[in-house]
């Protein structure tokens, strides 16, 4: 059975490729999805993006029966205890992904309320961070 991996993108990530390309790069979410499908053809991906926090909580719950979850919460990283709590309930490997190095940016971006509810965090690798996250998830799901 093919591994099933959820890749969830939060608020404002639907504007990738147009929004501050000097910070977030020029790839769109569609480009990142293609990159992942090409790199991991054996994986059944569920790609989702939303600007609505409650909808994201629903996406996280859907991932409960998956091989793992990679999430870029966007700005919700810094204040969404709802996402933290939803992630905390999942018994699958979880990775928080950020395209930019949030630790080298504004002070308020350096704190994540999501990080304590995930197994790993990838920052500052651009789109390659998603590849690293999926590779990690696959290695963890093999051990389960």
Q: Which residues are catalytic?
A: 24, 98
| Paired strand residues for 120 | 95
Alpha-carbon Rg for the chain in angstroms: 14
| Paired strand residues for 45 | 5
In 14-83, beta strands by DSSP E: 44-49, 68-72
The SS3 of residue 66 is coil
128-143 and 29-39 helices, crossing angle to 10°: 40
Could you tell me the maximum CA-CA distance found in the chain, to the nearest angstrom? 44
Q: What does the alpha-carbon distance between residue 44 and residue 60 come to, in Å, rounded to a whole number?
A: 16
């Amino acid at each position: 059975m093919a591994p099933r991996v959820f890749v969830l993108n939060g608020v404002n990530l639907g504007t990738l490729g147009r929004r501050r390309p000097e910070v977030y790069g020029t790839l769109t979410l569609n480009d990142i999805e293609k990159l992942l499908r090409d790199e991991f053809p054996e994986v059944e991906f569920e790609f989702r993006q939303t600007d609505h926090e409650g909808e994201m909580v629903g996406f996280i719950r859907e991932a409960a029966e998956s091989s793992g979850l990679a999430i870029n919460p966007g700005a919700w990283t810094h204040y969404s205890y709802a996402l933290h709590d939803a992630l905390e309930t999942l018994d699958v490997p979880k990775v928080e992904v950020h395209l930019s190095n949030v630790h080298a940016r504004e002070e308020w971006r350096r704190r994540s309320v999501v990080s304590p509810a995930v197994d790993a965090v990838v920052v500052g690798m651009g789109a390659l961070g998603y590849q690293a996250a999926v590779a990690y998830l696959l290695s963890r799901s093999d051990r389960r």
